[in-house]
Structures are given as structure tokens and as C-alpha cells.
Amino acid sequence: MTRYIRVRSAKRRNKDRAPPFMPPRPDLGPQPRLGYAESRIERAAELRSDAKAVAALASDSRAGAYVIGIDLVVLKKGSTRHEPLFTLDEARALGPITETVFLGHLDGVGRFGIGLTLATAEAIKARDDLHVTDLRSIAVQGLVDADHLPPIAEAKAVLHWHARHRFCPNCGAATQPVQSGWKRDCPQCKTEHFPRTDPVAIMLAIDGERCLLGRSPRFVPTMWSCLAGFVEPGESIEDAVRRETREEAGIACGRVRYFRSQPWPFPTSLMIGCYAEALSTDIVVDREELEDARWFSRDETAAMLLGKHPQGLTAPPGVAIAHHIIRGWVENGAGVLG
């Protein structure tokens, strides 16, 4: 009985909130490719403990390595786009290597991530034949072929984990990398340590024909985006979406629908894109987290995605999941809530 009543009341609420007229689907042009996602690499996890097989892939002259010094990615300068793959010999000649990770293979050809210290990466910035820069710039400016972004993200996240987990959090002893870079073992207390991924909920709250966007003080001055925050221990994604929206903007949310996800290697996050049904409309901005937050109409949001907003306001670039979340709503309206 209780369930029946709940279903009815939810349906009635949806009906009340449904717009009387669905505007035509705006033409936003071709869908940009989401950055760091849809990897073509076969990770071949079964080979990680097979040192002989990984060594054979590494000794193949066609093998390639992405070279990363914590936040800096090393690229070979090209005339149009830069080349992020080095032969393993070329990579080893760049400077002392901190770690080597087997990323997987592409059609049987090995792919590796090779770590440098940040100091080494900074030092080789002076070389004329190299371009050394951060991964955000590479993605947003399209400095390499987009197929390279997922394995660079994979390499960057795992290498960052190695750099920050050299000692056992349980007993303090130095840990040793094993399994081709996918595990660290503590020789003293025998604890096994695995690379971590930190989930972040990123969401668009929807009130009929309006969506809620916010501005972080870190954003470029014109940009507005989805709200986001880390999922906390013992918390579901849906609860994190509701909590973050309430904390940052004072908006209560009901239904939450998953959209899609994106690896976000800054340093080791996974962005989990969601839509949320707003149940209240009065915004109270948490100024510790956000510079501002407000409701945007679909027309205004479409203009931002197209770069044609009359006041020059912008949405995040196409490589970011926020762009895709916002676009999904502009194109499909409240239907994204299921």
C-alpha cells in the first residue's frame, strides 16, 4: 500500500512539473569526443604477473611508452600535432626512471607508462625537440591524437599512485612494485596495496526547463559548469549527488539518474555524471565552495555550448564530462531523468 501511494505521488509530481511544450531539439553540431574515455588499449590484466610475456612485449621494437613526470607529460614536438609515444630506449634516455607500468597492448603491441620525477620533467622542458606540459592543456588544446588520451590518463593515474605510495600506510616500511606496476607489496607486514580510484559525483540538477550551474573561483571568468564533489566513504552515488547539491547550492533533489562516467586523472578520480530532479528552487550558495550558482534556461545553456551567449558566458570544453551532461539535457530536456 505504501509503495502504491509513493508511486502515485511521484507520478503526480512529475506531471505537475512537466513543461506544457517541449522546445525543438537545438542543433548543437557534432558531438565532441569525451576526453580520457573509450580506450583502445587491451589492458590484458592476465599478463601483469607474467614477467616473461611483459618483457617480450617491452623488447619488441614497436613497443611504445608514455613518459610522465607527475603532472607533466613529455611529448615529441611535431609540426601539427605532437607525438606522445616514445620507444622504450628513447624514454629511458630522457632521465632516471622512477617506475615502469605495463598499460596493456594495442593489437599485440605493448604500451607502457614510464615515470620521471617532476624535477627531471621540468629540466627537459628546455629541450628544443620536446614539448613538456600538463595533461589538461594537451586534452583541451588537442595537442595529440585523441586516441592517446585514455592511455595517457591510465599511465598518469597509476604513476601518480606509485609516487605517493612508496611506504606502507600500515607499518611504514618501503613497499615494492610488483605485477608490472599494478600492485605494491609490503615486505614487512605483507599488506598488498592496489592503485586507488577516487569517485566524484558530478551532476546537473534540473527544474523543468531550467538547470543549475555553478562557478568555482578556479574557473576562467566566463565559465559555468555542473556541481561536483567526492563521494564519501559509506555513501551511495545518489546520496552524494543529493548531499553535494544541497551543501553547495541549498537545493534539495529527488530522483537521480546515472548518465556516463569519465576517468579524471587529476590525480586519480573517476567522474560519475548524473542528472538530479530538483525539488526546491531557492539557491543558497556555499561561498567556501562556489563563487556563484544560478538557474539557466535551455536557450541560454544552448547558447553557452555553441559559444554564442550574448554576455560571453561559456560551458566547459567538449573533452570534459560536464559539457556532455549539460548537452544531454539541452538536447533531451527532462527526459534525461528517465
Using CB under 5 A as the criterion, which residues of the chain lie in contact with Zn ion when the complex forms? 168, 170-171, 173, 186, 188-189, 191
The least CB distance from residue 183 to Zn ion, in Å, is 13
Cis peptide before 263, with omega less than 30 degrees from 0? no
Strands 85-86 and 109-115: unpaired
The least CB distance from residue 170 to Zn ion, in Å, is 4
The least CB distance from residue 180 to Zn ion, in Å, is 21
By beta-carbon proximity to Zn ion, the closer residue of 28 and 173 is 173
What's the rounded Cα separation, in Å, for the pair 134 and 118?
11
The least CB distance from residue 191 to Zn ion, in Å, is 5
What's the rounded Cα separation, in Å, for the pair 91 and 304?
42
Residue 167: beta bridge partners? Answer: 174
DSSP codes joined into one string, 207-265? ETTEEEEEE-TTS-TTB-B-EEEEPPTT--HHHHHHHHHHHHH---EEEEEEEEEEEET
By beta-carbon proximity to Zn ion, the closer residue of 56 and 173 is 173
By beta-carbon proximity to Zn ion, the closer residue of 111 and 193 is 193
Residues 6+ apart with CB under 8 A from 255: 10, 276, 277, 337, 338
By beta-carbon proximity to Zn ion, the closer residue of 28 and 189 is 189
By beta-carbon proximity to Zn ion, the closer residue of 191 and 281 is 191
The least CB distance from residue 332 to Zn ion, in Å, is 50
By beta-carbon proximity to Zn ion, the closer residue of 173 and 284 is 173
The least CB distance from residue 190 to Zn ion, in Å, is 7
Distance of CA 40 to the CA centre of its chain: 17
By beta-carbon proximity to Zn ion, the closer residue of 87 and 191 is 191
What type of residue is 292? D
Residues 6+ apart with CB under 8 A from 112: 58, 63, 64, 65, 66, 88, 91, 100, 101, 102, 103, 155
As given in the structure block, the three cell numbers for residue 210 are 531550467
Neighbours of 241 (CB within 10 A): 28
The least CB distance from residue 166 to Zn ion, in Å, is 12
